[in-house]
Chains A and B, each alone.
Chain A
Amino acid sequence: MTEKIRNWSKRNSDIAALPFILIAVIVIMTAATSGKFLSKGNLSALSSQLPELGLLSLAMMVVIITNGINLSIISSANLVSVLMAIFMTRTITAETSTGMIWLIVLAAILLGIIISIILGAINGGLIAYIGLPPMLATLGTMLLYEGITLTITKGFVISGMPDIFVEYSYAKILGVPLPLLTMILALIVVGIILERRPFGKYLYLIGSSETVTRFSAIDTKKTIVKAYVMSGILAGIAGMVMLSRFNSANARSGSSLQLLTILISVLGGTDPNGGFGKVLGLTMSLLILQFITSGLNLLGVTQFITLALWGILLIAVIAYRRFTEHKHSS
């Protein structure tokens, strides 16, 4: 057994160090805030912010694995949540019966998923079939999706979701909040797809070398479109979670999360040049970064310094990986 663990950590040296960092962060933050960090209030605040960040980071990771990137995840999430919000607020009136409201909410979720698939397919199509570099294609769609959302909302906030939809973010099963359960489910499903399904293997292959993969009789174009659709769906679910938690939607929410999702993926062992990345690593780096954010927040550090810190951390992690990689190869 120990032999097995040792072998695994040798092969996944990027991920193996993360549990220790996680424990260190918890200890340091608890000591620095003299215990406030582990208080019940802080922990529940933590678990309410975690799901959307986790879902968005997953959306980022699945395309970074293919040596791509998706800069449009946050604008996709906002477009999905705005359209759902409009659909629900327009169709539900004071006289609508409870049963009907349930149906409308379910229809809204279905609508959200369909829009997510379309937005993701546009990204994937531009990249795979038109041949645009992922960063420029998704930069364009980021502007386009955000522009459409702005045009629809005229810059206003849409609020007043039905109660049962808002209830989702408070409800618990066995003491676990539903959004957190949604994220855990998404982590497991994506993990299984990446580790156990042929589609997952193709993603890694494309990330390592697209040409070789294409010559191995794999339809790389279709696979890339599917990867961006998957990224779109995860972003869309994140949008729904945010819509429920804030009880409102607008064009510009969550724009500061962009850098954080890239940082979480890279810190979790995803190679920014594609071909490597695991859900387990992502989960741990997600926890590490959320704990640091929350701790810094308790210590009264301003959000701008935190932002700068994330940038420095991202470069430091890439530099560290690069340095150790040199040592391994020589």
Chain B
Amino acid sequence: MERIKHSLSTSSAFLVYLLIIMIAVFTAINPNFFSAENFLTILRSSSYSGIFAIGFLFVLLSGGLDVSFASIATIGQYVTGTILIQIPGMPWPIVVIVPLIVGVLLGSFNAFMIHKLNAPPLIITIAVQNILFGVLQFITKGHWLYNFPKWFNQFPLTLVVSTTNANGVKYGLSVLTVIWFAVALIAAFILNRTIYGRRLYAMGGNVEAARRAGINILKYRIFAYGFLGFCSGLAGLVHTMVTQTVAPNTLVGNEFYTIAAVVLGGASIFGGSGSVFGTVLGVIIMAVLTNALTIMRVPAYWHQAFLGAILIGSMAVTAANSRRAMKKG
């Protein structure tokens, strides 16, 4: 009983209430909104931003920040796309693993530079974002990639659980959503049950204290940024599967959507606190909101102003909460 009471008063519970209220309001405004098919579509189309968000959570927990992940994902997309087009017979495990390796390497390199140069993570990653994006635009000359092999077209259409709607069209739980949730489960396990996860929280809470407790800060920074790199590679791959095209500027410039989702999910902007469950909820809330705005025909120009207001509002709430917690001692 005590446990249930506790879990009902946490920030994740607040998000669940928020989501329920939002769904009720949007359904009242437009009944088309409330359907299993619409929700499954939302979950499928937000699977790549969900994967980004989990990676970003790790960096935020460690007390860091990274705005280069979208360009890392785009590099991964171009590498994958080039392999798929040039060598169509390439076995799928290699196609899948290459962007992940690219992501881990670039992410770890970010961590290494931030640590060795002792510079604000934001400034370093803004520089890295521009380097990667500039080089990418120069090499690809802005060309799009498409016409991928058949298996790559078919796989993302796989439904794990499926049913048919009134018009006889098949719909269900997409394999891409399953990938997202699998990453979330693994991440939750790492954060809650392994020493790596616990030390990440410790480091984000207070870097100096963690250093004195004998935690190798560089190692855990590489772990956090490397994991974000891994997630970026995977998210890029999933995004390519959804859109079946690779373009230089679909992901770059939308980093803030991910950051807003993670912060909305209750992760502290000062590092040291946050949960995978909250992050998943944050992504879903953002996706539901965008979907509802679209269904209600709110012009696209308004979306960004909304996004900014939500980001500021949710940060202000977490900041006020952490100050109250500090006063309590």
The judgment on whether A and B are partners is yes
**Chain A interface residues toward B at CB < 8 A:** 69, 126, 130-133, 135-137, 139-148, 150-151, 154-155, 258-259, 262, 266, 272-273, 302, 304-312, 314-315, 318-319, 322
Contact pick for A151, options B123, B131, B263, B301, CB 8 Å = B301
Q: Is B90 an interface residue (CB 8 A)?
A: no
Are the C-beta atoms of A137 and B315 separated by less than 8 Å? yes
In the complex, what distance in Å separates the CA atom of A308 from the CA atom of B119? 19
Q: How far is the CB of B307 from chain A (nearest CB, A)?
A: 6
In the complex, what distance in Å separates the CA atom of A108 from the CA atom of B308? 27
In the complex, what distance in Å separates the CA atom of A126 from the CA atom of B302? 22
Q: How far is the CB of B149 from chain A (nearest CB, A)?
A: 30
In the complex, what distance in Å separates the CA atom of A224 from the CA atom of B214? 36
In the complex, what distance in Å separates the CA atom of A130 from the CA atom of B168? 53
Q: Chain B residues near A262: list those with CB within 8 A.
A: 123, 126
In the complex, what distance in Å separates the CA atom of A135 from the CA atom of B117? 19
Are the C-beta atoms of B126 and A310 separated by less than 8 Å? no
Q: How far is the CB of A183 from chain B (nearest CB, A)?
A: 24
In the complex, what distance in Å separates the CA atom of A144 from the CA atom of B315? 14
Given A139-B259, A143-B256, A143-B311: A312 and B299 within 8 A (CB)? no
Q: Is B241 an interface residue (CB 8 A)?
A: no
Q: Chain A residues near B151: list those with CB within 8 A.
A: none
In the complex, what distance in Å separates the CA atom of A145 from the CA atom of B301? 12
In the complex, what distance in Å separates the CA atom of A308 from the CA atom of B135? 6
Contact pick for A307, options B120, B134, B301, B320, CB 8 Å = B134
Interface centre among B128, B138, B307, B308 (most CB of A within 10 A): B308
Contact pick for A135, options B65, B134, B305, CB 8 Å = B65
In the complex, what distance in Å separates the CA atom of A47 from the CA atom of B260? 39
**Chain B interface residues toward A at CB < 8 A:** 65, 113, 116-120, 122-124, 126-135, 137-138, 256, 259-260, 263, 269-270, 299, 301-309, 311-312, 315-316, 319-320, 323
In the complex, what distance in Å separates the CA atom of A145 from the CA atom of B311? 13
Q: Chain B residues near A154: list those with CB within 8 A.
A: 299, 301
Given A307-B133, A312-B131: A143 and B308 within 8 A (CB)? yes
Q: How far is the CB of B248 from chain A (nearest CB, A)?
A: 9
Are the C-beta atoms of B127 and A315 separated by less than 8 Å? yes
Given A305-B134, A315-B124: A272 and B119 within 8 A (CB)? yes
Taking A273-B119, A322-B119 as known contacts, 17 extra A-B pairs with beta carbons closer than 8 A to each other, sorted by chain A number, are A130-B319, A130-B320, A133-B270, A135-B120, A136-B259, A139-B259, A142-B308, A146-B304, A148-B305, A151-B299, A154-B299, A259-B126, A302-B138, A308-B135, A311-B131, A314-B127, A315-B124
Are the C-beta atoms of A272 and B126 separated by less than 8 Å? no
Q: How far is the CB of B234 from chain A (nearest CB, A)?
A: 24
15 contacts between A and B (CB under 8 A): A130-B320, A132-B315, A140-B308, A141-B312, A143-B307, A144-B305, A146-B304, A155-B301, A258-B126, A259-B126, A262-B126, A312-B131, A315-B131, A318-B123, A322-B117
Given A133-B270, A302-B138, A311-B130: A272 and B123 within 8 A (CB)? yes
Are the C-beta atoms of A318 and B270 separated by less than 8 Å? no
Nearest opposing residue in chain A for B256, CB measure: A143
Given A135-B65, A259-B126, A262-B123: A147 and B131 within 8 A (CB)? no
Q: How far is the CB of A123 from chain B (nearest CB, A)?
A: 10
Are the C-beta atoms of A318 and B308 separated by less than 8 Å? no
Q: Chain B residues near A143: list those with CB within 8 A.
A: 256, 260, 304-305, 307-308, 311
Q: How far is the CB of A65 from chain B (nearest CB, A)?
A: 14
Are the C-beta atoms of A272 and B127 separated by less than 8 Å? no
Are the C-beta atoms of A140 and B311 separated by less than 8 Å? yes
Q: Chain B residues near A259: list those with CB within 8 A.
A: 126-127, 130
Q: Chain B residues near A309: list those with CB within 8 A.
A: 134
Q: Chain A residues near B323: list those with CB within 8 A.
A: 131
Q: Chain B residues near A140: list those with CB within 8 A.
A: 308, 311-312, 315
Q: How far is the CB of B182 from chain A (nearest CB, A)?
A: 29
Q: Chain B residues near A145: list those with CB within 8 A.
A: 308
Q: Chain A residues near B118: list those with CB within 8 A.
A: 273, 322
Contact pick for B312, options A137, A148, A150, A258, CB 8 Å = A137
Q: Chain A residues near B127: list those with CB within 8 A.
A: 259, 310-312, 314-315
Q: How far is the CB of B218 from chain A (nearest CB, A)?
A: 15
Are the C-beta atoms of A147 and B302 separated by less than 8 Å? yes
Q: How far is the CB of A128 from chain B (nearest CB, A)?
A: 12
Are the C-beta atoms of B303 and A314 separated by less than 8 Å? no
Nearest opposing residue in chain A for B67, CB measure: A139
Q: Chain B residues near A133: list those with CB within 8 A.
A: 269-270
Contact pick for B308, options A141, A305, A308, A314, CB 8 Å = A141
Closest 9 CB pairs of A and B: A147-B305, A308-B134, A144-B308, A143-B308, A147-B304, A311-B131, A307-B134, A140-B312, A304-B137
Are the C-beta atoms of A139 and B311 separated by less than 8 Å? yes
Are the C-beta atoms of A311 and B134 separated by less than 8 Å? yes
Interface centre among A137, A139, A310, A314 (most CB of B within 10 A): A139
Are the C-beta atoms of A144 and B119 separated by less than 8 Å? no
Q: Chain A residues near B122: list those with CB within 8 A.
A: 69, 135
Q: Chain B residues near A273: list those with CB within 8 A.
A: 118-120
Are the C-beta atoms of B319 and A132 separated by less than 8 Å? yes
In the complex, what distance in Å separates the CA atom of A139 from the CA atom of B269? 12
Are the C-beta atoms of A69 and B120 separated by less than 8 Å? yes
In the complex, what distance in Å separates the CA atom of A133 from the CA atom of B270? 8
Q: Chain B residues near A302: list those with CB within 8 A.
A: 138
Are the C-beta atoms of A315 and B320 separated by less than 8 Å? no
Q: Chain A residues near B311: list those with CB within 8 A.
A: 139-140, 143-144
Q: Chain B residues near A307: list those with CB within 8 A.
A: 130-131, 133-134, 137
Are the C-beta atoms of B134 and A306 separated by less than 8 Å? yes
In the complex, what distance in Å separates the CA atom of A130 from the CA atom of B313? 11
Q: Chain B residues near A136: list those with CB within 8 A.
A: 65, 259, 263, 269, 315
In the complex, what distance in Å separates the CA atom of A312 from the CA atom of B113? 12
In the complex, what distance in Å separates the CA atom of A73 from the CA atom of B271? 26
In the complex, what distance in Å separates the CA atom of A17 from the CA atom of B124? 23
Interface centre among B120, B123, B263 (most CB of A within 10 A): B123
Nearest opposing residue in chain A for B314, CB measure: A140
